A and B are shown apart, each in its own frame.
Chain A
Amino acid sequence: SAVISQKPSRDICQRGTSLTIQCQVDSQVTMMFWYRQQPGQSLTLIATANQGSEATYESGFVIDKFPISRPNLTFSTLTVSNMSPEDSSIYLCSVQVGRSTDTQYFGPGTRLTVL
């Protein structure tokens, strides 16, 4: 596995603003992902963060709303742009360690509340 940290752990933001969430891993990992877990719901994949290239977004998620960076193999950011109350959610990064397994491990999450 890997040790994953996220910043901030929680935040309360105003409508129309943006928040950048950071994900740091203690070792180089092949793949990093960003998920959203809305209140009372399960996890939904937002995008795969690709090192050195544009992220791969899932249906229903777009780069303008959720820009993602991954400058190296241990770090990624997710920005939630022009926030609305509907963006209130827990945002989680996950990593896949090694190419021979598709097992994913999750970071502690960022709890976002938009007023």
Chain B
Amino acid sequence: QKEVEQNSGPLSVPEGAIASLNCTYSDRGSQSFFWYRQYSGKSPELIMFIYSNGDKEDGRFTAQLNKASQYVSLLIRDSQPSDSATYLCAVTPNYGGSQGNLIFGKGTKLSVKP
């Protein structure tokens, strides 16, 4: 059973702080890693994707991937109340070239307090 694990939270941080969201996955052969943001009652919105070990930065967001530890994280710098949402980690498992099946974690609920 291929799994993606996330702490459900809620994770509460003060405005302006760094929010750190973590995700582990069980399939060592996983190829691609995604972070989605989902506001209550809305559909998931892609924030970032990362394919290679290391860090990838996009504005206030940094994704970090460590394939040896099967760990991917998302850092949000200068957190804003508008960042309050559920953050979903998703992984593309290694199906020998077959793409499409994103395995989602259950999400971490982030609350940024003004």
Contact = CB atoms under 8 A, between A and B. Distances in A.
Chain A partners chain B: yes
Interface of A: 1, 31, 33, 41-45, 48, 58, 90, 92, 96, 102-109
A21 B99 CA distance: 24
Interface residues of B, number: 21
A102 B88 contact: no
B100 A31 contact: yes
A103 B49 contact: yes
B43 interface: yes
Interface of B: 31-32, 34, 36, 42-46, 49, 88, 90, 92, 99-102, 104-107
Given A42-B106, A43-B102, A103 B46 contact: yes
B99 A41 contact: no
Contact of A109 (B31, B36, B43, B90): B43
B98 to A, nearest CB: 9
A43 B32 contact: no
B40 to A, nearest CB: 11
Given A92-B44, A107-B43, 19 more contacts: A31-B99, A31-B100, A41-B106, A42-B105, A42-B106, A43-B44, A43-B88, A43-B90, A45-B102, A48-B100, A102-B99, A103-B46, A103-B49, A104-B102, A106-B36, A106-B43, A106-B45, A108-B43, A109-B42
Contacts of B42: 108-109
A1 B99 CA distance: 18
Contacts of A33: 100
